[in-house]
């Protein structure tokens, strides 16, 4: 491919003329943005900008000229054009819950970056139960999108622990996964159409609702998972599903990961795609949640090294799903795949079981620094990964506390290690090497952002990287959008190390 020099090298970025102004606050861009978008749509004071320039985990903190919050797609387009006219760059931001530093501006003093928050594009544009389609603006909070679908008697299946803050634009731009991927697929599988503001400010209207459209390249797919490097997503259309009529949630003790995988296949052959979630959780994660949150309680009296949280649901009325699950689990007990179990009897109990899973990240955060890995391997290799990874980590970081949990039905393990920051490089190197050795990926869900940008060339083949650079150069030749994220754009980013 011809794209080694991708048009994103620092020498090709137009000058922004900062030197003419003694402070950024005096830069004419600020007044131009205020005139175009309204006084309140531009924040430039340090306190006002603070929540936008640091990431959720507090690992990345940058500096922005200002934060702009347009309230419609025309405003986004106008902001992009104005920032471009001064040679600046735009960092799109949704709920800022991303875990790889992708939504925060650069900390380089010479960077001239504007954070563009989609927060105010928060309208549900349509919920069509006949077409089974939900159309929402990018700033709609994921939970609100779910509720809008539910109000119309439909299921919008994307669900993750950050759903109270994550926004649709961020979900699309990270191709978010979550707990229902096993049955409904990733965000990529659910998007029917997108509206996107491009680097020249033009508005691409790909907000179709079609399930079939063979008229050439599927352009929307380029923007899904692009981490804000190709365009700014301003609205999205999603496919919807029938609401569940009945569901059973089970918290199961299993002897180990190998038994968990066999249990997964057993349940799938017994209940088919009624199995919508299958999460593997190591005992140490449950302990951490119980220790750090007194409002939680252990779902089982017995202790086990591993647990599975499984959810089985059906849109079919009258299907005796509870009986089906009980019979399947009885066989699983006989096969030695399950050693103890509890089934939620009502919505409250279901919420309590899910709380254990959903609070793991927060419990980790309260326990000091942790080195997070969001890897995937073929499902059959999960037991190999989990057998080797802890010892491999302890060999390079004595005293570290590995914790494993994840969407194991998708081959996705969050393998996080409580350890001091200094150990992160050595720990990540052995974890990623192991995942890749087993045919896996260094990022199953969270993406590359800033935290893994220097690692991508080590784990992704050169031809794939060249194709990615060619796409970037075609859509955003001046590297306007989210520079330094996903693809290294200069010497500093290319040198970013592990972590
Ligand atoms: C407790 C917790 C649990 C999580 N669980 C999961 C999980 O199970 N599965 C999962 O996949 N992720 C998970 N995440 C990660 C995160 O919530 C998701 O990646 C989410 O999709 C990010 O949405 P956001 O609106 O916060 O995006 P942000 O963090 O604001 O942005 C993420 C990236 O998308 C870009 N971006 C944001 N909005 C736009 C836009 N409109 N147009 C173009 N680019 C844009 C940003 O520049 C950045 O690169 C979790 C995070 C937390 C804190």
Distance, CA of 6 to CA of 12 (rounded, Å): 10
Task: Find out whether the beta carbon of 142 lies less than 6 Å from any atom of ligand 1.
Answer: no
Return the CATH class of domain 368-437.
alpha beta
- pLDDT, residue 368, reads 87
Atom of ligand 1 nearest to the CA of 139: 41
Task: Find out whether the beta carbon of 232 lies less than 6 Å from any atom of ligand 1.
Answer: yes
Q: Structure tokens of 182?
A: 């096993």
Q: How far is the CA of 96 from the centre of ligand 1 (A)?
A: 6
Atom of ligand 1 nearest to the CA of 167: 25
Contact 230, 375 (CB under 8 A): no
- pLDDT, residue 489, reads 65
Of 302, 248, 256, give the one whose Cα is nearest residue 281: 256
- pLDDT, residue 317, reads 86
Atom of ligand 1 nearest to the CA of 98: 29
Q: How far is the CA of 104 from the centre of ligand 1 (A)?
A: 12
3-state DSSP assignment of residue 378: coil
Q: What angle do CA 77, 82, 83 make, to 5 degrees?
A: 100
Atom of ligand 1 nearest to the CA of 176: 11
Residue numbers in the chain where pLDDT is lower than 70: 1-25, 489-499
Atom of ligand 1 nearest to the CA of 449: 49
**Contacts of range 489-492, beta carbons closer than 8 Å, 24 or more positions apart:** 489/8, 489/9, 489/10, 490/9, 490/10, 491/10, 492/108
CA distances from 399 to 30, 165, 224, 366 (A): 50, 34, 39, 18
Of 341, 381, 353, 334, give the one whose Cα is nearest residue 289: 353
- pLDDT, residue 496, reads 34
DSSP string over 209-227? --S---SS--THHHHTTST
Task: Find out whether the beta carbon of 483 lies less than 6 Å from any atom of ligand 1.
Answer: no
Atom of ligand 1 nearest to the CA of 165: 26
Task: Find out whether the beta carbon of 117 lies less than 6 Å from any atom of ligand 1.
Answer: no
Task: Find out whether the beta carbon of 361 lies less than 6 Å from any atom of ligand 1.
Answer: yes
Atom of ligand 1 nearest to the CA of 226: 44
- pLDDT, residue 311, reads 95
Q: How far is the CA of 173 from the centre of ligand 1 (A)?
A: 7
- pLDDT, residue 467, reads 97
Contact 236, 193 (CB under 8 A): yes
Q: How far is the CA of 5 from the centre of ligand 1 (A)?
A: 29
Q: How far is the CA of 37 from the centre of ligand 1 (A)?
A: 25
Q: What is the topology classification, in CATH, of domain 10-120+455-494? A: 3.30.43
- pLDDT, residue 421, reads 87
3-state DSSP assignment of residue 47: helix
Distance, CA of 291 to CA of 286 (rounded, Å): 9
Q: What angle do CA 83, 105, 51 make, to 5 degrees?
A: 110
Atom of ligand 1 nearest to the CA of 228: 44
Chain centre to alpha carbon of residue 6: 26
Selecting from 3.30.465.10, 3.20.20.150, 1.10.150.120, 3.30.460.10, what CATH number does the domain 124-242 have? 3.30.465.10
Of 121, 143, 324, 346, give the one whose Cα is nearest residue 235: 121
Task: Find out whether the beta carbon of 374 lies less than 6 Å from any atom of ligand 1.
Answer: no
- pLDDT, residue 13, reads 40
Same fold, 246-357 and 368-437: yes
Task: Find out whether the beta carbon of 228 lies less than 6 Å from any atom of ligand 1.
Answer: yes
Distance, CA of 84 to CA of 12 (rounded, Å): 13
Atom of ligand 1 nearest to the CA of 178: 8
Distance, CA of 65 to CA of 26 (rounded, Å): 10
Task: Find out whether the beta carbon of 359 lies less than 6 Å from any atom of ligand 1.
Answer: no
- pLDDT, residue 491, reads 33
Q: How far is the CA of 172 from the centre of ligand 1 (A)?
A: 8
Contact 17, 488 (CB under 8 A): no
Task: Find out whether the beta carbon of 161 lies less than 6 Å from any atom of ligand 1.
Answer: yes
DSSP string over 433-486? HHHHHTT-BSBSSS--TTTTTTTHHHHS-HHHHHHHHHHHHHH-TT--BSTTSS
Q: What is the topology classification, in CATH, of domain 246-357? A: Alpha-Beta Plaits (3.30.70)
Question: Residues 430, 403, 182, 222: is their CA dihedral positive or negative?
Answer: negative
Task: Find out whether the beta carbon of 282 lies less than 6 Å from any atom of ligand 1.
Answer: no
Domain edges within the chain: 10-120+455-494, 124-242, 246-357, 368-437
The dihedrals phi and psi of 450, each to the nearest 5 degrees, come to: -95, -30
- pLDDT, residue 466, reads 96
Task: Find out whether the beta carbon of 357 lies less than 6 Å from any atom of ligand 1.
Answer: no
Q: How high is the mean pLDDT of the chain?
A: 91
Q: How far is the CA of 425 from the centre of ligand 1 (A)?
A: 23
Distance, CA of 319 to CA of 268 (rounded, Å): 16
Q: Structure tokens of 355?
A: 């709380």
The dihedrals phi and psi of 340, each to the nearest 5 degrees, come to: -160, 155
């Amino acid at each position: 491919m011809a794209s080694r020099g991708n048009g994103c090298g620092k020498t090709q970025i137009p000058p922004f003329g900062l030197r003419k102004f003694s402070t950024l606050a005096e830069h004419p861009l600020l007044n131009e943005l205020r005139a175009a978008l309204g006084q309140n749509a531009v924040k430039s004071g340090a306190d006002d900008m603070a929540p936008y320039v640091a990431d959720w985990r507090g690992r990345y903190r940058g500096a922005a000229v200002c934060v702009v919050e347009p309230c419609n797609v025309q405003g986004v387009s106008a902001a992009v054009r104005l920032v471009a006219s001064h040679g600046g760059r735009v960092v799109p931001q949704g709920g800022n819950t991303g875990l790889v530093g992708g939504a925060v501006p650069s900390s380089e003093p010479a960077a001239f970056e504007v954070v563009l928050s989609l927060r105010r594009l928060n309208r549900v544009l349509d919920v069509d139960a006949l077409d089974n389609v939900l159309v929402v603006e990018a700033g709609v909070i994921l939970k609100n999108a779910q509720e809008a679908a539910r109000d119309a008697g439909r299921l919008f299946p994307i669900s993750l622990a950050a759903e109270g803050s994550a926004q649709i634009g961020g979900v699309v731009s990270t191709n978010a996964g979550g707990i229902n991927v096993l049955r409904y697929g990733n965000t990529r599988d659910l998007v029917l159409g997108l509206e996107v503001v491009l680097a020249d400010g033009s508005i691409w209207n790909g907000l179709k609702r079609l399930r079939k459209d063979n008229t050439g390249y599927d352009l929307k797919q380029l923007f899904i998972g692009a981490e804000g490097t190709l365009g700014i997503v301003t609205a999205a259309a999603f496919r919807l599903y029938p609401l569940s009529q009945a569901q059973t949630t089970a918290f199961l003790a299993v002897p180990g990961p190998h038994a968990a995988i066999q249990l997964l296949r057993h349940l799938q052959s017994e209940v088919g795609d009624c199995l919508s979630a299958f999460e593997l959780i190591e005992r140490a994660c449950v302990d951490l949640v119980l220790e750090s949150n007194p409002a939680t309680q252990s779902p089982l009296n017995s202790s086990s090294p591993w647990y599975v949280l499984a959810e089985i649901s059906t849109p079919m009325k009258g299907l005796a799903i509870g009986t089906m699950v009980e019979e399947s689990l009885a066989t699983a007990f006989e096969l030695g795949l399950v050693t103890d179990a509890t089934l939620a009897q009502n919505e409250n109990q279901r919420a309590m079981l899910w709380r254990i899973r959903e609070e793991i990240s927060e419990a980790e955060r309260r326990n000091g620094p942790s080195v997070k890995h969001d890897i995937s391997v073929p499902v059959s290799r999960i037991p190999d990964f989990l057998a080797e990874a802890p010892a491999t980590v302890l060999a390079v970081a004595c005293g570290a506390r590995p914790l494993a949990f994840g969407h194991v039905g998708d081959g996705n393990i969050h393998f996080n290690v409580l350890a001091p920051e200094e150990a992160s490089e050595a720990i990540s190197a052995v974890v990623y090497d192991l995942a890749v050795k087993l045919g896996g990926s260094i990022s199953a869900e969270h993406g590359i952002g800033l935290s893994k940008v220097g690692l991508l060339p080590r784990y992704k083949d050169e031809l794939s990287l060249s194709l990615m650079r060619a796409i970037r150069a075609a859509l955003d030749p001046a590297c306007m959008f989210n520079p330094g994220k996903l693809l290294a754009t200069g010497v500093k980013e290319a040198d970013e190390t592990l972590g």
